């Protein structure tokens, strides 16, 4: 069944239909994207950023990089996270993957559909040895 599902997902992506992600396997690349979207929806900001920070790759955790994540990148995500959500699919944090590119065994790029543009947004995920080999 897993092979059939993977095959169906491949066809959906290759035909441009995309695939809806509702309840991804824990610690998968899709799960990390969903956790990031959940954190963007949280209030207050400090709690949301603390949750989001768990999913920042260890190579991006220097003081200056964290300041950039907090003041620029995370704020931008909070302003537009809802464009990625597909609540009409029966799950409040469902989203649509238009393409998956395995750049290397430890590096995957997901292209996530945004309702406000025709171009999907790339999400770069890399395995993090500083986080026990988890995707970040």
pLDDT grade for 1, boundaries at 50, 70 and 90: very low
Domain ranges of the chain: 24-96
Q: Cα-flanking dihedrals φ and ψ of residue 6, to 5°?
A: -60, -40
The per-residue pLDDT for range 56-95, each reduced to its tens digit, is 999 999 999 999 999 999 999 999 999 999 998 889 999 9
pLDDT grade for 8, boundaries at 50, 70 and 90: confident
Burial call 44-81: b when 16+ CB within 10 Å, e when fewer: eeeebbeebeebbbeeeeeeeeeeebeeeebeebbeeb
pLDDT of 124 strictly over 70:
yes
Residue 80: C-alpha distances to residues 40, 41, 77, 84, 115 (Å): 9, 10, 5, 8, 10
Its pTM stands at 0.89
């Amino acid at each position: 069944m897993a092979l059939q599902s993977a095959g169906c997902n491949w066809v959906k992506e290759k035909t441009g239909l995309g695939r809806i992600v509702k309840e991804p396997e824990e610690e998968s690349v899709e799960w990390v994207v969903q956790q990031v979207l959940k954190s963007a929806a949280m209030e207050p900001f400090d709690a949301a950023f603390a949750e989001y920070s768990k999913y920042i790759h260890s190579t991006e955790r220097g003081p200056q990089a964290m300041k950039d994540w907090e003041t620029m990148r995370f704020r931008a995500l909070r302003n537009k996270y809802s464009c990625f959500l597909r609540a009409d699919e029966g799950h409040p944090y469902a989203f649509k993957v238009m393409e998956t590119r395995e750049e290397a065994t430890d590096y995957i790029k997901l292209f996530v559909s945004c309702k406000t543009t025709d171009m999907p947004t790339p999400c770069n995920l890399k395995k993090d040895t500083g986080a026990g080999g988890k995707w970040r």
